[in-house]
Amino acid sequence: MRRRFRRKPKKKPQIPQMRANERIFADPIILIDHNGEHVGEIALSEARTMAESVGLDLVEVSPKAHPPVCKILDYGKFQYAQAKQYKQSKSQQKVVSTKGVRIGLRTDTHDLDFKKRQAEKFLSKGNKVKVEIVLRGREKAHQDLAKENIQNFLNALEVPFRTEEQIKKFPGGFNTIIAPE
């Protein structure tokens, strides 16, 4: 029998759910009415009747306060506004990724200039850059030249940067990570 691949459904982002109407259990609450005015500390049943008389919902806005703060508003519009705000804040987050520039021990000057421009472009966009030099075969005997090549490459960069990781050895050569200032 042939098994079919079944993709997992994407999870929707979890926006914190507020308790509304009958799901609120704290009895004395601080109430803010539909006009945004502070009513004060009142009984839960009285707040529910006020919300029903206006035709809106009683929503627990700040459950961790003592007593909890509840507001009279349209719960559907409130959820929509929260989802929109969450989406906007998520789109404004800056995700910093690490880009890589790989050079060799015998890389020519023109190729180094190209890699330099590439690294400068990555730094100007706000990304970190991992500069690595790979040693092959007999090149592994010239580790001092490899460190010198990386240092010369870093000195040639014209965009200001800070070194996050010093030049360190890894099994195939050396690498360092730089970040924009």
16-25, 70-79, 102-111, range with the lowest pLDDT? 16-25
Residue 6 lies in a domain: no
Q: How many domains does the chain have?
A: 2
Assess whether 79 and 123 both reside in one domain.
no
Task: Specify whether 28 is located in the same domain as 56.
Answer: yes
- Rounded to two decimals, what is the model's pTM? 0.57
Q: What is the pLDDT of residue 49?
A: 96
Q: Do 162 and 107 reside in the same domain of the chain? A: yes
Of 63, 92, 121, which residue sits at a domain end? 92
Q: Is the pLDDT of residue 159 over 80?
A: yes
Domain span at 146 = 98-180
Q: Among 46-55, 85-94, 171-180, whose mean pLDDT is lowest? A: 85-94
Indicate the average pLDDT of the chain.
93
**Same domain, yes or no, for 53 and 110?**
no
In the structure, what pLDDT confidence band is assigned to residue 25 with cuts at 50, 70 and 90? very high
pLDDT-derived band at 1 (thresholds 50, 70, 90) equals low
C-alpha separations of 134 from 100, 149, 162, 173 in Å: 12, 11, 22, 5
Closest CA to 128 of 137, 136, 119, 138: 119
Query: In terms of domains, do 113 and 156 share one?
Result: yes
